[in-house]
Amino acid sequence: MSLRLDALNPQQREAVTTIEGPLLLLAGAGTGKTRVITCRAAYLVEQGIPPASVLAVTFTNKAAREMSDRLAELLSRDQARLLTASTFHAFCARVLRRHIRLLGYSPGFAIAPGGYQVGLVKTILGETGLVNGPLGADGYLASISRAKSLLLHPDEIPETAAWPPALGRVYSLYQTRMRNMDQLDFDDLLMLVVDLWTRHPEVLAAHRDQYRFLEIDEYQDTNAAQLRLMTLLAGEAANLCAVGDDDQSIYGWRGADVSNILHFADHFPRARIIRLEQNYRSTNTILSVANQVIANNPDRHDKRLWSQRGQGEPVLVVCAQTDEAEAGFVADVIAERMRTHKRSYADFAILYRSNSQSRLFEERFRRLRIPYRIVGGRSFYERREILDAISFLLLAANPKDDLSLLRVIDVPPRGVGDKSIERLRELQLVTGQPAQTLIADAGFLGELPAAAAEGLRHLHGAVERFRQAAAGPGTLAAAVETYLREVGYLDGLGRMYKPREDALARLENVHEFLSSVAEYAGNPPPGGATLAGFLEAVTLQDDSDRKEDAGDGRPSVTLMTVHAAKGLEFPVVILVGVEQGMFPHRMALAERSLEEERRLFYVALTRAQEEVIITHAARRRVAGVPSVRRPSVFVEELPVELTERSGAETALKPLTREEEDRLFAEMRKQFSV
């Protein structure tokens, strides 16, 4: 064991060595919280706590992997392997695999990938006469998710304006259909474990005996279901360490409840609170600005970040005349800093409130041949061609999965038209049989046009052959590739997508997906590589598992939303579009969510190590219409003595024409393609 407490500052050391009772660790931005919670877990083992008794819960797979890797450096391999570091959803999935029979579900349940349920909700809305209501399927699905995060069952939905019309009925039908298909969604994983532990105290007692020491990362992002889950598991002993920062609670729109961290002492009356305030990332100027802005939020735990990294440069606030001038200024400031500060393109992050703001910067960077990368766009596993590939695997893994079958029943085109699909759905309602059973029924196939019947017959045969191959002794990766070829998917992409370049790009993505199957099979979990195991690993992916476009390996400017930047750091942060209605966002202003928007602004400031530049425009096109803009309220809250303010035309020392030509010639030579 290589645990060195003397390498920690006094507050970190106090947090590591406090092991009994409830502990709230208020870890400000850049204060080394990952190091602290990892050292604390190792310290528990050093004090004689069996590693199997320690459960560390995170929000992302990346954080869980990072903790496991760090623990492997502090503990023996066997000790690190016995300690559980997991996301909430992965932990709950494991609990349910063992005990879900007690709730009347099959232990062979599948976890539906995010978004798959929209088609099901559309069908339900059509059946209930709500299809033309004020909310579409996405809105109802989001409301069902919100209800589950609040631990509300269908019969507990109040008939108030806070919920869509007839939500309880839609929610009830949704749950019944999902259960009939042996499907759970992400929210079910948490809610069902709470139900399990509440209805079966003997199962809860067994888990309390197993996990006697809990660590919960990013506690400010927990919702009501997660709070209840951890409260049940902690029990009266409450040997629980919650780590988080209320000033970085920015996910209220997806169910996070900042009151969980604000009222921690109410939930755990014996709670001890330790503040980590020494920052190892930013200059004191950046921290002082961030401290002063966030102090405008009335409901928060008081804390003031400080650093030993020196005072640093003032925060630069620039007003551009137009949005196009703003993009031009940002390109110019990058070039100027590279010339005067010897910066790399990789030192710069352009942060914005909404993804739509990236366009002007992308256009300007392409024109000037400034390399850049977009972070936080559509996930690899959310791309249409990958969702189709996953659907083919899901319907083979689960004979009751109607959602996946209906998604790919005519992908690639196999002659199955809308009338054939409508007849299939009618027969389902009459017989109650799964769609996969019906497409093998000779009577049903006899009702269809010859092309549709032959297409379904071929699809069913391919699914059955793959089902047997996946359960056999051969390699899973080879079986998957053969299957996707047999159903016509690999060869059909060229017919499905135009132009040819688009089809080739999608085919490359599918080959990358096949590589992920091979990686899983090459490094199998205990019990071996199985189709069900691979699908669970894929569906439990989160934003931290995104396969980002790495470009061609050159140093590149990073463009991303502030939400996507959380947890990251950059030498120079350029925060753009800081205007009323844009940041804070107009929807947040309408919903009176200004405090969360201020926390988001605070997160943006604290990503910077050395320099912060804030820009806004006097005029901007919004939805194609020119409009006069005014600076954000957050710009007005910046301390005057720690900022330097100017218009774009005076913010930089101008380059001479000769210097400009030489600089861009050097840049093009260095980064020529």
Burial class (CB in 10 A: 0-12, 13-18, 19+), 422: exposed
Cis? peptide before 399, omega within 30° of 0 = no
Could you please report the per-residue DSSP string of 159-173? -STTS-TTHHHHHHH
Closest to 120 in 3D by CA, of 44, 173, 51: 173
Q: Which residues contact 312 (CB under 8 A, 6 or more apart)?
A: 282, 283, 284, 285, 286, 610, 611
CA dihedral over 30, 149, 225, 398, signed as positive or negative: negative
> Quick check: 311 and 284 in contact, CB under 8 A?
yes
Closest to 517 in 3D by CA, of 526, 506, 530, 508: 530
Burial class (CB in 10 A: 0-12, 13-18, 19+), 665: exposed
> Quick check: 575 and 565 in contact, CB under 8 A?
no
- Rounded to whole angstroms, how far apart are CA atoms 408 and 531? 18
CA dihedral over 596, 598, 600, 603, signed as positive or negative: negative
Residues in the chain: 673
Burial class (CB in 10 A: 0-12, 13-18, 19+), 313: middle
- Rounded to whole angstroms, how far apart are CA atoms 36 and 254? 28
Q: Which residues pair with 561 in a beta bridge?
A: 352
Catalytic site residues? 33-34, 217-218, 248, 607
Reduced 3-state DSSP string for 257-288: CCHHHHCHHHHCCCCEEEEECEECCCCHHHHH
Distant-in-sequence contacts of 416-420, Cβ < 8 A, 24+ apart: 416/452, 416/455, 416/456, 417/449, 417/452, 420/448, 420/449, 420/452, 420/456
CA dihedral over 117, 122, 127, 129, signed as positive or negative: positive
